[in-house]
Amino acid sequence: METTLNHSARGPTNVEISPREELVLLALYSKELYGLQIPQAVEEASGGKRRIGIGTLYPVLHSLEKKGLVESRWGDEGREERGGARRRYYKLSGSGVATLEAFQAFRHNLMAWQST
């Protein structure tokens, strides 16, 4: 199930996000995480009830980058302790923030909706 959102000029007119994409956007809200921290954040925040596997995570991240909702960079932080391995860090773009906030506002409005 995908949700189409219309939101402000800060981002695309119509953006479709899947439930998995929403979880990743929520995990990245107001913070930058490297790839493996994202499933950890989802699992810990949900008390172990929600999980994103590594095989799912990276296609979701690539989709979100293609949509312009997420930005990434290579980091060298702590590289020596990990034997030279670099980490890729992800954060929401301005469009990602606008999309997530619009989606959350929609959910709030729908929960509060009453027939007139």
Residue 70: which CATH number?
Answer: 1.10.10.10
> What per-residue confidence (pLDDT) applies to 15?
83
pLDDT at 82: 63
- Average pLDDT of the chain? 87
Question: What's the pLDDT score for residue 77?
Answer: 76
Q: Answer for the pair 86, 76: CB distance below 8 angstroms, yes or no.
A: yes
- Tell me what pLDDT residue 42 has: 96
Query: pLDDT tens, 12-38?
Result: 447 889 999 999 999 999 999 999 999
Phi and psi of 70, rounded to 5°?
Answer: -130, 145
CB 15 within 8 A of CB 99: yes
H helical segments located in the chain: 19-28, 37-45, 54-66, 94-112
Domain that includes residue 54, residue range: 3-112
Write down the pLDDT at residue 85. Answer: 83
What are the residue ranges in the chain where pLDDT is below 50?
A: 1, 3, 5-13
Indicate the number of domains in the chain: 1
DSSP annotation of 112: H
How many residues in the chain?
116
